[in-house]
Amino acid sequence: MKVVKFGGSSLASGTQVEKVFNIVLSDPERKIVVVSAPGKRYSDDIKVTDQLISLGEACLAGKTIEDELNAILKRYSLIAEELQVSSAVIDEIEQNLRSIMSQDKNNPVLFIEAMKASGEDNNAKLIAAYFQSKDVEAHYVSPKEAGLYVTNEPGNAQVLPESYDNLYRLRERTGILIVPGFFGYSKEGDVLTFSRSGSDITGSILANGVKADLYENFTDVDAVYTVNPSIVNHPKEIRELTYREMRELSYAGFSVFHDEALIPAFRAGIPVQVKNTNNPSAPGTKIVNNRANTNGPVIGIASDDGFCSIYISKYLMNREIGFGRKLLQILEEFNLSYEHVPSGIDDITVILREDQMDEETEREVIKRIQMELHADVVEIEHHLALIMVVGEGMRHNVGTTSRAAKALADAGINIDMINQGSSEVSMMFGVKAHDEKRAVQALYNEFFASVLA
């Protein structure tokens, strides 16, 4: 059994929904379909979800709302007309929206939650109606009916563990189940949404719940690339990568997924297949727990700038039990999250995203480190980029470090920092931000130029 999720751009118009229909029908294992709200049809189009937020805010402000309401209904109607689905479903959607709008508004946050979630909810109804109109057995299944319970955290709801047993029972249902993404219900019966990319989260939870063989995630790219296409022209695609590799890559700008979305599937060991709705015959990229290493030690290269380093040295620091812990404690008290902590014998460098600190915070942090840790030197360096060279194959490959370092040296790039832990699934190089693109290109040339895609 496969759980298949389609994003907003895959459902933005009747033409797109037809593609979805064909994709789902082409494989009888595709039993559970998770849908987003209709997304953008062209680059300055407005997503239905954003229209719903405007409508909700207008309601709360006591303004007239008929124009906003009609604009939303129009989006659904256009899709329904294009697909020749009976307008009864549009009446149902209008009724549903008017019913939400007439709800108690004493808790405006919960009101907006319900309004936002209706985008996915009503789209699921529309798509189920379309499948039915084509004589396919399909059922709209609401998260409430499925038993998808979540915590009471608006915009950041967390699945409650008991949901998984409820969801397992979906296996007994016949036909294709169309489930709206993005939200669940609290035990009190309120609608609560997940964090961003919430439909990915729903798909991942469902894949775990029904113990799917595969979680297919349809987007609008053919695959995950070995390197950012805005840095290297036409980079090679990745066919298969592990969860760990995906995480290491996505960390530095490779965000096909919002990472948290995959946790439920990851925990259940379910592979995720990234595919393109607009090019479903492309092989896509598969994210797995383990893979054979067939393509050289490195699977991808990611990079990001906007980092700074705090360098601290103190004679005999190495002898002081607790020095590192006290340093991290100070950063924690400023609510600063750090990335890496490379160290020498008597020095330690903390690498963190520089947008976390304004000049005043910076001064305060330096002062506290000097005062409380009696450091000899505390220096901040700005405008650094981190480059992650990622690949499970590095683990057993003598010489990967040497190749990477040589590629950078040959390109005349100074390595400010290196960090490679014993997991050996990645290697981090810190360079000056202005060297970032040249560094990535040099590493790509070293590891991929001669490898067939």
- Is residue 58 a contact point for its own copies (CB under 8 A)? no
- Which of 307, 305, 293, 298 lies closest to 235, judged by CA? 298
- Is residue 414 a contact point for its own copies (CB under 8 A)? yes
Output the CA–CA distances (angstroms, integers) from residue 54 to 46, 146, 206, 228, in the order listed.
11, 29, 30, 34
**Minimum distance from residue 332 beta carbon to its own copies (Å):** 5
- Is residue 62 a contact point for its own copies (CB under 8 A)? no
Neighbours of 438 (CB within 10 A): 15
Is 7 annotated to bind ligand?
yes
Q: Cα(295)–Cα(293) distance, rounded to whole angstroms?
A: 6
Closer to its own copies at the Cβ: 126 or 425?
A: 425
Per-residue string for binding with its own copies, 214-243, x by CB under 8 A? -----------------------------x
- Is residue 125 a contact point for its own copies (CB under 8 A)? no
Among 259, 293, 362, 370, binds its own copies (CB under 8 A): 259
- Is residue 248 a contact point for its own copies (CB under 8 A)? yes
- Which of 225, 218, 204, 112 lies closest to 159, judged by CA? 204
Q: Cα(332)–Cα(334) distance, rounded to whole angstroms?
A: 5
Total residues contacting its own copies (rule CB under 8 A)?
Answer: 68
Among 60, 109, 282, 316, binds its own copies (CB under 8 A): 316
Among 33, 241, 357, 413, binds its own copies (CB under 8 A): 413
- Is residue 325 a contact point for its own copies (CB under 8 A)? yes
From the centroid of its chain, how far is CA 432? 27
Considering only 97-105, 176-184, 334-342, 362-370, which stretch makes contact with its own copies by CB under 8 A? Answer: 334-342
Considering only 19-27, 61-69, 222-230, 404-412, which stretch makes contact with its own copies by CB under 8 A? Answer: 404-412
From the centroid of its chain, how far is CA 136? 32
Is 354 annotated to bind ligand?
no
Q: DSSP letter for 355, please.
A: G
Q: DSSP letter for 111, please.
A: H
Which region holds residue 389: left if phi is over 0, alpha if psi is between -120 and 50, else beta?
Answer: beta
Q: Is 159 exposed, middle or buried (0-12, 13-18, 19+ CB in 10 A)?
A: buried
Backbone angles phi, psi at 121, to 5 degrees: -60, -50
Considering only 41-49, 63-71, 150-158, 244-252, which stretch makes contact with its own copies by CB under 8 A? Answer: 244-252
- Is residue 269 a contact point for its own copies (CB under 8 A)? no
- Is residue 388 a contact point for its own copies (CB under 8 A)? yes
- Is residue 345 a contact point for its own copies (CB under 8 A)? yes
- Is residue 362 a contact point for its own copies (CB under 8 A)? no
Is 91 annotated to bind ligand?
no
Considering only 67-75, 124-132, 218-226, 322-330, which stretch makes contact with its own copies by CB under 8 A? Answer: 322-330
Strand-strand pairing, 176-180 and 183-185: unpaired
Strand-strand pairing, 191-193 and 183-185: antiparallel
Output the CA–CA distances (angstroms, integers) from residue 285 to 112, 264, 274, 294, 407, in the order listed.
36, 19, 5, 15, 27
Closer to its own copies at the Cβ: 111 or 338?
A: 338
Q: How many residues does the chain have?
A: 453
Is 243 annotated to bind ligand?
no
Is 188 annotated to bind ligand?
no
Neighbours of 146 (CB within 10 A): 24
- Residue 243: its H or E element: helix 243-251
**Minimum distance from residue 268 beta carbon to its own copies (Å):** 12
Closer to its own copies at the Cβ: 299 or 408?
A: 408
Q: Cα(178)–Cα(203) distance, rounded to whole angstroms?
A: 11
Among 426, 433, 444, 447, binds its own copies (CB under 8 A): 426
**Minimum distance from residue 142 beta carbon to its own copies (Å):** 29
Binding site feature residues for ATP: 5-8, 219-220, 225
Binding site feature residues for substrate: 49, 120
- Summarize as ranges the residues that interact with its own copies (CB under 8 A): 243-244, 247-248, 251, 259-260, 263, 266-267, 309, 311, 313, 315-316, 318-319, 321-322, 324-325, 328-329, 332, 335, 337-349, 381, 388, 396, 398-399, 401-402, 404-406, 408-409, 412-428, 430
